Amino acid sequence: MTTVSLEQIQSPADLRKLDQRDLPELARQLREFVLQSVSRTGGHLSSNLGTVELTTALHYVFDTPHDRIVWDVGHQSYPHKILTGRREQMGSLRQKGGISGFPKRSESRYDDFGTAHSSTSISAVLGMAVASRNAGIDRQHIAVIGDGAMTAGMAFEALNNAGVTPDVNVLVVLNDNDMSISPPVGALNHYLARLMSGRFYAAAKNVGRAVLQHVPPVLDLARKFEGHAKGMLTPATLFEELGFNYVGPIDGHDLDALVDTLSNLRELGGLQFLHVVTRKGQGYKLAEADPVLYHGPGKFDPSVGLVQPATPPRPTFTQVFGQWLCDMAAEDPRLYGITPAMREGSGMVEFEQKFARRYFDVGIAEQHAVTFAAGLACEGQKPVVAIYSTFLQRGYDQLIHDVALQNLDVTFALDRAGIVGADGATHAGNYDIAFLRCIPNMVVATPSDEREARLLLTCCYQHPGPSSVRYPRGAGAGVPAGDDLATVPLGKGVVRRQGKGLALLAFGPILYEALKAAESLDATVVDMRFVKPLDETLLQDLVQGHQAFVTLEEACIMGGAGSAVLEFFARAGIAAPVLQLGYPDEFIDHGDQKKIAAELGLDATGIEHAIREHFSCLLEA
């Protein structure tokens, strides 16, 4: 009997040398390696445990990297990374200088398309397939997309386009694990559930084929009848109506079934749709029992599982938002909470429990989330869209056309603003200040701590028009948020430290690093609170007693808060020098949040150094 070892597999070519009977043992070792590796580094666990067999079968059947595989979202690609020569690098996962937690073209020739945002795989694969067709290259193109990602309109736009694109080889593998991050929602999920329950159809089809296979003419007639009878025995097969040959559902943890089915589909070519049913957290009982909790854990002991720390950590900005949302909803029955499939990540679990009729998880459909909110606002309601900064980018047209242009009363709570750490460039919320402040009617608020977050949320919620409040991942300075619904004047900043000569204008939590730096500089420090409307009166007052200014923001410098200050100074004819500190014009890779901030010069030491270097003459005077 052949003894198989994961260490033998340095590439998919090594995998394809194995006997098919060895694959279950390899998959067992691969699953154990994923569990042990993620427990040491942190990262996405449940989704990767669920795709071990599927990944193994895909690389066993298809000639990668000649054949293309695109992993939608990409947080289920750890087994793929391990089987494609990156096993020894998994210890550096999501760390500075280490490998990414998502597929990345610059990282490996097996990563055919960079993914991290949802529902892009089918479009990308179709583009690849057309390019291969026109170049005369015989190649397979596979999109692996989860059931959550199938709720986004972009996936169906691609399916619709594929259905009228001739002579392309496209295989869409629907990884149906009944779970995206939050529990899946919507009619599509219900449709898949009904397909899964269609046991009678599957059994009848198999029995009929067994009986009729010896009578070919009758079997052919039965096949023709089957095409018409499908709709009577199961729900109408949407994917076949779009031009795909639908196969499934099959057990995504049965390697024999996977290999045999994928081999058949490879030979068929054309437009194929394989429905695979997997289980998130497969093989690790704790993750199977609570796949949401184990979706993206930090470091932990697999033998014990995740445990609560002895000392409760400081509340995060997300938790502050979640509590404010519940408190405001109790006061105002017009408040509706909307999330695009990020109930846990956006802190809305308690809101759903308390205000179920006013809670809406619209699935991974950011464009719909924004326009749905606009519709509510048209009818006098006050929707709050809780959305990650990086995901609001996906609803930008709707933000401009459907909300801001009509000056509708929608509040956007932007979580994960700024550097997000281990998730890297794809999830960084670096651009929202720049892309929001240019939109007419939009308010842009930047709270500096937990208390300010609650105050500015109330202020923006009470503003009768579109508004946004951006806050970072993790905890703030430790300032108690309070439990009242007090507010602050719209567009008004506050001086936090009075100094002389130099004024530091802070937008957001970087205020506290500015305060530290200001001590040795004897500089004035202002919590600006708002990028738009900018507190122009305060700036005019500051000009009277200060010779130079420094703007500080945890966002891109280009078009950001510092740019807003410079634009005002130019309009007002103010000639004071301004140093802008923020993120450079580049994508910032994954790593520890605090270390990245220090490397960018956005901690107290870096801020002081930059100021002393830039304003040396002023400080020496």
Catalytically annotated residues: 280, 366, 394
Amino acid type, 96: K
3 state DSSP class of 566: helix
* Residue 550 near residue 502 (C-beta atoms within 8 A): yes
The closest alpha carbon to 346, from 323, 368, 328, 329, belongs to 323
Radius of gyration of the chain (CA): 27
d(CA 201, CA 227): 12
* Residue 335 near residue 328 (C-beta atoms within 8 A): yes
d(CA 231, CA 195): 11
Report the helix count and the strand count for the chain, using DSSP H and E.
26, 17
Per the listing, tokens 């009982």 go with 285
User: What is the SS3 assignment for 181-219?
Assistant: CCCCCCHHHHHHHHHHCCHHHHHHHHHHHHHHCCCHHHH
* Run of H or E residues at 443: strand 443-445
Instruction: Report the relative pairing of strands 170-176 and 245-251 from DSSP bridges.
Output: unpaired
* Residue 67 near residue 112 (C-beta atoms within 8 A): no
Sign of dihedral through CA atoms 8, 71, 65, 21?
A: positive
Strand partners, 273: 172, 246
Structure tokens given for 410: 């929608």
- Cis peptide bond N-terminal to 313, omega within 30: no
Structure tokens given for 254: 């049965």
- Chain centroid offset of residue 97 CA: 21
Tell me the C-alpha to C-alpha distance, in Å, between residue 388 and each of 341, 343, 598.
Answer: 11, 11, 24
- Chain centroid offset of residue 496 CA: 35
The closest alpha carbon to 583, from 438, 390, 418, belongs to 418
Contacts of 503 (CB under 8 A, 6+ apart): 523, 524, 525, 526, 542, 546, 548, 549, 550
d(CA 373, CA 375): 5
* Residue 2 near residue 25 (C-beta atoms within 8 A): no
Per the listing, tokens 């029992």 go with 289
3 state DSSP class of 70: strand
d(CA 471, CA 102): 24
d(CA 454, CA 203): 57
The closest alpha carbon to 507, from 465, 550, 475, 540, belongs to 550
- Cis peptide bond N-terminal to 65, omega within 30: yes
* Run of H or E residues at 272: strand 271-277
